[in-house]
Amino acid sequence: MRAQARLGFILLLMPILLWLTALIVIPHIDMFLISLRERVGVGEYATSTANYRTFLGEPLYLVTFARTAIMAVTATFITLLIAFPVSYYIAKMIKGRLQSALFLMCLVPFWVSELVRTFGWMILLRETGLFSNLLQWSGLASGPVEMLYNDAAIMVGLVYTSMLFMVVPLVTTLESLDDSVIEAGYDLGGSGPSILREIIIPHATPGIVSGSIVVFMLSLGNYLTPTMLGGKDSLWFTELIYSQFIVRFNWELGAAFGFMLLILSSVIVWAMLRLTGQTLEKTMG
Amino acid sequence: MTPDLECTALTKRFNDEAAVDNVSFAVPQGSFFSILGPSGCGKTTIMRMIAGFLPPTSGDICIKGRSMLNVPPNKRPVNMVFQHLALFPMMNIEDNIGYGLRRAGLPKPEITRKVGEVLERIGLPGVGKRKVSELSGGQKQRIAIARCMVLEPDVLLLDEPLGALDLKLREHMKIELKALQAAFDTTFVYITHDQSEALVMSDQIAVMNNGRFEQLGAARDLYYRPETAFVAGFVGDTNRWPAKVDRVEGGALQLRTDSGLTLHGASHGRALSRGDRADVYVRPEAIRVAHTADELSQFDNRLSGQVTSILFNGAASRILFRDDAGHEEIEVTLPQSGEFAMLEKGARVHIGWSGAHGNCFAATTAAAGA
């Protein structure tokens, strides 16, 4: 009986183990080995840390690296600021059919491919786009206005793409907060901001943290949005990785870049968890 | 002296439907006032209006003579113990109790002192650092009260706070709540659908139905002198028979029930005349059981018959009785002397009660039995 249960357990575990090993662990080990290789001649390689030294020695790489991190953190923060009131409204202020309808409306854009959604923004923001025409028509601008290919456009795209992944965990945690707890706060003399600070946010922290982690990861690793809305010179780290692999055919340096990105995201997530006093089990479980 | 809480012509309508309909009452300082009624009668609506979570459609709420109409909940001198207590799970006990004091801007040492004092008073010293989830149901209950009482409110509102507790603990908490009220000497307004909670603890009880107060009075008055059929049926257990008035002699009535039983009853000042439809309410404990018919000669209602069922419940044991002619079953409380402890199903007994205990009300289409 016990042996059978064990077998069943192993069989059930198999798919995820295979998935993790074949698609995540093995490629990463291989990548790591490639990143430690240096090409010394035609078809000749030696083990060295040259790729990582190249990364650290080139200011452009470092600036792009830092810029990507800061932009991703900023995008996460803005997403949180926008998503929190939206989630609070959906979870607490309305009930019944309207609630599910609004929740669905957050989901609907994700039925369309990310590429198409990003093109949608390009249609709105480009020189001959909707906003530009609107400004000219209303007389606020004398000529065509180019709103694409800058950091603000990237930010808009990133926040838009990430919204759902912040709203879902926030709505879930906020819904689990009993209305009478909020009322008790008012009843005992609390004001709106103090209830938000002392009752609602502490309760929603697991949702805030898990939403933020997901949004941060998505933004940091996003390739499409920065490239399309930010243009060729948007200096996004994933673009550097892409160009090393595909354009320069320098897999060694690309692999090293990939590893730096992995380290960066791990460090920032770890720091965020430490800062908010949460653990990964608590927020993801 | 101005009462602590006074509601005048309080009305609340939801989409033209009156949840609370022209209710007026005053609660004197230091008393325990209960609103008793079935679910959906509007008692929670009254409570939420007093607390400030709902604006009344019309009417006024005064606390210590000051109108509360445009005062937000966080500025009112009332606090509320919620049905599920609503303790803050993200804070420890100390922070829970200290929340209101922190919001009032008291200095830290003073908050610590007051929190310690109130914990002492509710008999839970030293739990301050514990988490809410580590306490038992009864302890949480006391913490919820302490969290309000530490703010020294003029009126404390309690919204069925004992509903979630098991029976034994509920019985215990009834006594404890009454003791706490006396110790804090604060006005308590308590709402419940459980009549025994209201009867045991309250100085004054308002029985509420369909948004109106049916009767307002001390527990004993409600129980022995119900003014409406609803109160007679809702407070305490009762036998109820629909009947027709045959004869009227001053306050005394003779009636014939729909199944043909002739009964004596009393109108207690209510207008009932010959030929009217009426409901007769007789409490099971007002009916005497006897082995022989002679023992019941002083009663004007006398029946002989058989025990059809025994409802054993310790001191509150009852029997169901059916007379020889086979009219409706009558619920009778057994005397607590143990005289009938060995009574068997099918045994022959005689029952009787005085006509004055048969409260008669003009028949209504919807009289609820509790």
Indicate the average pLDDT of chain B.
87
**A178 lies within 8 A of chain B by CB:** yes
**A202 lies within 8 A of chain B by CB:** yes
The arithmetic mean of pLDDT across residues B25-53, rounded, is: 91
**B84 lies within 8 A of chain A by CB:** yes
> What's the pLDDT band for A158 if we cut at 50, 70, 90?
very high
**B131 lies within 8 A of chain A by CB:** no
pLDDT one-digit tens code per residue, A163-188: 999 999 999 999 999 999 999 999 99
- How high is the pLDDT of residue B176? 86
Indicate yes or no: CB of A184 within 8 angstroms of CB of B53.
Answer: no
> How far off is chain B from A93, nearest CA to CA, in Å?
14
Is B91's pLDDT higher than 50? yes
**A191 lies within 8 A of chain B by CB:** yes
- How high is the pLDDT of residue A84? 95
The DSSP symbol for A199 reads I
The arithmetic mean of pLDDT across residues B145-173, rounded, is: 87
Give the CATH number for residue A257. Answer: 1.10.3720.10
Indicate yes or no: CB of B99 within 8 angstroms of CB of A183.
Answer: no
> Which of chain B's residues have a Cβ under 8 Å away from the Cβ of A190?
74, 99-100, 103
The arithmetic mean of pLDDT across residues A54-67, rounded, is: 90
Q: pLDDT higher for A16 or A233?
A: A16
Asked if residue A231 is part of any domain, the answer here is yes
pLDDT one-digit tens code per residue, B309-364: 988 888 888 899 988 887 888 999 988 887 788 888 888 899 999 888 888 888 76
> What's the pLDDT band for A216 if we cut at 50, 70, 90?
very high
Asked if residue A33 is part of any domain, the answer here is no
What count of CB pairs under 8 Å joins A to B? 66
**A198 lies within 8 A of chain B by CB:** yes
pLDDT one-digit tens code per residue, A23-37: 889 998 998 998 888
> How far off is chain B from A54, nearest CA to CA, in Å?
49
> What's the pLDDT band for A150 if we cut at 50, 70, 90?
confident
- How high is the pLDDT of residue A212? 93
pLDDT one-digit tens code per residue, B272-321: 888 888 889 999 988 998 888 888 888 888 889 999 998 888 888 889 99
Is A215's pLDDT higher than 90? yes
The arithmetic mean of pLDDT across residues B244-259, rounded, is: 86
- How high is the pLDDT of residue A284? 62
**A183 lies within 8 A of chain B by CB:** yes
> How far off is chain B from A81, nearest CA to CA, in Å?
22
Whether residue A188 contacts residue B103, with contact meaning beta carbons closer than 8 Å, is answered with yes
The arithmetic mean of pLDDT across residues B194-216, rounded, is: 90
**A1 lies within 8 A of chain B by CB:** no
Asked if residue A225 is part of any domain, the answer here is yes
By Cβ distance, the residue of A188, A194, A203 closest to B90 is A203
Asked if residue A183 is part of any domain, the answer here is yes
- How high is the pLDDT of residue B216? 92
> What's the pLDDT band for B161 if we cut at 50, 70, 90?
confident
> What's the pLDDT band for A283 if we cut at 50, 70, 90?
low
> Which of chain A's residues have a Cβ under 8 Å away from the Cβ of B133?
none
By Cβ distance, the residue of B52, B72, B79 closest to A188 is B79
Is B101's pLDDT higher than 80? yes
Indicate yes or no: CB of B79 within 8 angstroms of CB of A185.
Answer: no
Indicate yes or no: CB of A190 within 8 angstroms of CB of B99.
Answer: yes
Q: For chain B, which residues make up each domain, given as ranges?
A: 5-230, 237-362
- How high is the pLDDT of residue B128? 86
Could you tell me the fold of the domain covering B237-362? OB fold (Dihydrolipoamide Acetyltransferase, E2P) (2.40.50)
Indicate yes or no: CB of A188 within 8 angstroms of CB of B74.
Answer: yes
Is A152's pLDDT higher than 70? yes
pLDDT one-digit tens code per residue, B220-241: 888 888 888 899 888 888 888 8
Into how many domains does chain A fold?
1
Percent of chain B with pLDDT over 90: 28
- How high is the pLDDT of residue A81? 96
Asked if residue A12 is part of any domain, the answer here is no
Indicate yes or no: CB of A181 within 8 angstroms of CB of B89.
Answer: yes
> How far off is chain A from B169, nearest CA to CA, in Å?
23
Indicate yes or no: CB of B74 within 8 angstroms of CB of A189.
Answer: yes
**Domain B5-230 is in which class?**
alpha beta
The DSSP symbol for A5 reads H
Indicate yes or no: CB of A198 within 8 angstroms of CB of B53.
Answer: no
- How high is the pLDDT of residue B370? 35
What tokens were used for B298? 């002083």
Residues of the domain holding A228? 65-284
Whether residue B71 contacts residue B52, with contact meaning beta carbons closer than 8 Å, is answered with yes
Q: Of the segments A49-58, A81-90, B168-177, B196-205, which one has the largest average pLDDT value?
A: A81-90
By Cβ distance, the residue of B75, B86, B104 closest to A184 is B86
> What's the pLDDT band for A46 if we cut at 50, 70, 90?
confident
> Which of chain A's residues have a Cβ under 8 Å away from the Cβ of B73?
183, 186-187
- How high is the pLDDT of residue A126? 86
Which chain A residue shows the shortest CA-CA distance from B50? A187
Is B157's pLDDT higher than 90? yes
> How far off is chain A from B252, nearest CA to CA, in Å?
52
Is B367's pLDDT higher than 60? no
The arithmetic mean of pLDDT across residues B142-160, rounded, is: 90
pLDDT one-digit tens code per residue, B173-190: 888 888 888 888 899 999
**What was the ipTM of the complex prediction?**
0.78
> How far off is chain A from B370, nearest CA to CA, in Å?
29
Mutate to test the interface with A, among B99, B101, B189 (most CBs of A within 10 A): B99
> Which of chain A's residues have a Cβ under 8 Å away from the Cβ of B83?
180
> Which of chain B's residues have a Cβ under 8 Å away from the Cβ of A198?
88, 90-91, 99
Is B366's pLDDT higher than 50? no
For every residue of A101-158, DSSP letters joined together read HHHHHHHGGGGS-HHHHHHHHHHHHSTTSHHHHHHHHHTS-SS----SSSHHHHHHHH
Is A271's pLDDT higher than 80? yes
> Which of chain A's residues have a Cβ under 8 Å away from the Cβ of B103?
188-191, 194
For every residue of A58-97, DSSP letters joined together read -HHHHHHHHHHHHHHHHHHHHHHHHHHHHHHIIIII--TH
> What's the pLDDT band for A234 if we cut at 50, 70, 90?
confident
By Cβ distance, the residue of B74, B80, B86 closest to A191 is B74
